[in-house]
């Protein structure tokens, strides 16, 4: 049947079956908005003409004939035109929804970027710890667009409730970075963590880490000598005490960075909090214990290895647990040994510049190799005296002498 012979509409199925193809594809109107298309090759299908929300006309396929009969096509057309009249875009109807970007995937990409940027092992450990402990349990399984301000506020308030205001502040920064990265990548337009600072609890006045003063050290050193913690743990505690390094620096210390022959620990910039390389002279006592430890852990990358691939180094809590077990809970923590060293050295009139450089507290100023090794010879003398002085406090005997030419004129 030729289309010129069509006499009525809607088109009967008998007409649809017999309509002949022409040299070019053509369309015949069946009912409001619904057209029957006959291709030059003979295939037949249904098309709906509708107006999109932006005011432009568009076509939407409703299927081929005879799989979709005239009756079924008209029913579909009526339903879709009703939807279009209410402002729905028919271009999206019937499409598979695009997969949502999940928060955990975005956070893991942020973590990977931090790792590639060379963040310190201690920082990476901290990112992973609080992602798993505080962030993922609340929003890890949510899509980026589904995370709400209430979700982010919940993470912050839970941490504040347990007194972790400092790390809550860091987590707030990390959440902002994660969402900002996702926005830049076009994965979301949503940053529900952007205003959390306005509802954050006021951070309590910072207190120094629990630390000991000189009169308390003899009793502590004797208690540490009797510690039942692992031999390797006690060596790490003593190394932290004698070098005044951060506990995390000791945990992630690698044998490749330690020159026992020259009694020098060279820490690369990527492992340092301030992103500057740092040199730490090692006392004879520390070198002796590290040589003994090397017989046990020397085949490992890390000086103080952990157990298994998931724990390449000793746990973050190992040092403080050792201190608790010898009776110094709330009196001394690993980081507090830096306060102890700084206080004792300054009280004994060692030059402030030497002490600050040992603790890597020097800000800005000079740079390059000179800055990296500044006061190294003086610090060798100072820290050997400090190790000897700790031994004298513990065992007695001959009191170590301070070289007058390296002392400050006043404390």
Catalytic residues: 246, 273, 335, 338, 361, 370
Instruction: Note whether 44 and 38 are within 8 A (CB).
Output: yes
DSSP 147-158: --HHHHHHHHHH
Name beta bridge partners: 50.
Answer: 58
How does 379-390 read in b/e, with b if 16+ C-beta sit within 10 Å? Answer: bbbbbbbbbbbb
How many C-beta atoms lie closer than 10 Å to residue 145's C-beta?
A: 15
Number of helices (H) and strands (E), helices first, in the chain? 16, 7
Tell me which residue of 145, 144, 389 sits closest to 285, measured CA to CA.
389
CA angle 41, 44, 46 (to 5 degrees): 140
CA distance 139 to 155: 9
- Which token pair is 326? 């010898």
At residue 187, the 3 state secondary structure works out as coil
175: Cα within 13 Å, side-chain hemisphere: 31
Tell me which residue of 23, 48, 45 sits closest to 34, measured CA to CA.
48
- Cβ neighbors of 99 (< 8 A, separation 6 or more) are none
316 φψ region: left (φ > 0), alpha (ψ -120 to 50), beta (else): alpha
- Phi–psi pair at 357, nearest 5 degrees: -70, -35
CA distances (Å), 360 to each of 163, 201, 249, 250, in order? 28, 31, 12, 14
CA distance 162 to 170: 15
Instruction: Note whether 203 and 291 are within 8 A (CB).
Output: no
């Amino acid at each position: 049947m030729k289309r010129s012979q069509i006499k009525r509409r809607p088109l009967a199925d008998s007409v649809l079956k017999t309509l002949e193809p022409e040299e070019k594809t053509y369309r015949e109107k069946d009912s409001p908005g619904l057209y029957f298309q006959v291709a030059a090759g003979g295939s037949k299908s249904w098309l709906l003409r509708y107006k999109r929300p932006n005011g432009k006309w568009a076509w939407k396929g409703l299927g081929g004939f005879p799989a979709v009969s005239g009756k079924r096509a008209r029913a579909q057309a009526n339903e879709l035109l009703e939807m279009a009249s209410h402002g729905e875009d028919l271009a999206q109807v019937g499409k598979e929804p695009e997969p949502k970007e999940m928060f955990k995937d975005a956070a893991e990409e942020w973590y990977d970027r931090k790792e590639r940027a060379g963040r310190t092992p201690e920082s990476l450990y901290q990112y992973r710890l609080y992602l798993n402990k505080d962030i993922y349990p609340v929003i890890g399984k949510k899509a980026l667009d589904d995370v709400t301000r209430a979700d982010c506020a919940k993470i912050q308030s839970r941490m504040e409730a347990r007194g972790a205001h400092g790390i809550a502040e860091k987590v707030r920064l990390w959440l902002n970075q994660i969402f900002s990265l996702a926005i830049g990548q076009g994965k979301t337009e949503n940053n529900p963590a952007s205003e959390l600072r306005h509802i954050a609890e006021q951070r309590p006045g910072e207190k120094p880490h629990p630390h000991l003063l000189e009169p308390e050290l003899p009793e502590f050193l004797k208690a540490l000598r009797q510690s039942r913690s692992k031999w390797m743990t006690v060596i790490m505690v003593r190394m932290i005490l004698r070098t005044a390094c951060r506990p995390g620096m000791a945990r992630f210390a690698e044998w490749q960075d330690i020159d026992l022959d020259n009694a020098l620990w060279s820490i690369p910039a990527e492992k340092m909090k301030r992103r500057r390389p740092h040199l730490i002279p090692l006392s004879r006592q520390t070198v002796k214990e590290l040589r003994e430890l090397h017989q046990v852990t020397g085949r490992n990358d890390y000086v103080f290895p952990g157990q298994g691939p998931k724990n390449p180094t000793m746990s973050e809590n190992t040092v403080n647990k050792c201190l608790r077990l010898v009776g110094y809970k709330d009196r001394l923590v690993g980081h507090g040994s830096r306060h102890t060293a700084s206080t004792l050295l300054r009280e004994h009139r060692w030059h402030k510049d030497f002490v600050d450089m040992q603790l890597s507290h020097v800000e800005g100023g000079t740079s390059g190799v000179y800055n990296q090794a500044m006061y190294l010879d003086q610090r060798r003398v100072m820290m050997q005296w400090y190790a000897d002085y700790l031994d004298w406090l513990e065992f007695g005997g001959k009191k170590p002498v301070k070289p007058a030419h390296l002392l400050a004129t006043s404390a």
